[in-house]
Structure 1
Amino acid sequence: MLLLLLLFLPLLLLLLLLLLRLLLLLLLLLLLLHCYYYYYYYYYYYYYYYYYYYYYYYYYYYYYYY
């Protein structure tokens, strides 16, 4: 019985380490997706903001000088 336990203990530890590694990989992937999402969200937000003010400025420039 003790021999069987000693035989399967390294296997169980290896399995546990593998599970832990997969969990860490999943967390890293989620973190990367989170950063990716926020990067694109802010990128498009500032892009929209920039063009909005650009056309606003252009409109007033056209209005006052022509």
Structure 2
Amino acid sequence: MGEEGEELSKVQAHLVIHLGLEEPLITDITIDMLGIMILSFSKGLWRHVNDPQAKIRKTAKQ
């Protein structure tokens, strides 16, 4: 979901819940299928494959 709640991509996947896990884990294949292009892992910066080159998104914090 984008900042305005828009759907960026859709993929069917299996969900596994691990109690006590504080960081979400997704595979590189899922990241690719969702169109996520990582700009910085440590800063949580990314862009969607359909975003303009200047668009930079930040990982949502809970």
Q: Which structure: greater helix fraction?
A: 1
Q: Which structure: greater strand fraction?
A: 2
Q: For the superposition of Structure 1 and Structure 2, which TM-score range results when normalised by the shorter chain?
A: under 0.3
The TM-score, its normalising length taken from structure 2, stands at 0.19
* Bigger Cα Rg: 1
The TM-score, its normalising length taken from structure 1, stands at 0.18
Q: Which has the higher contact order (CA 8 A, sep 6+)?
A: 2
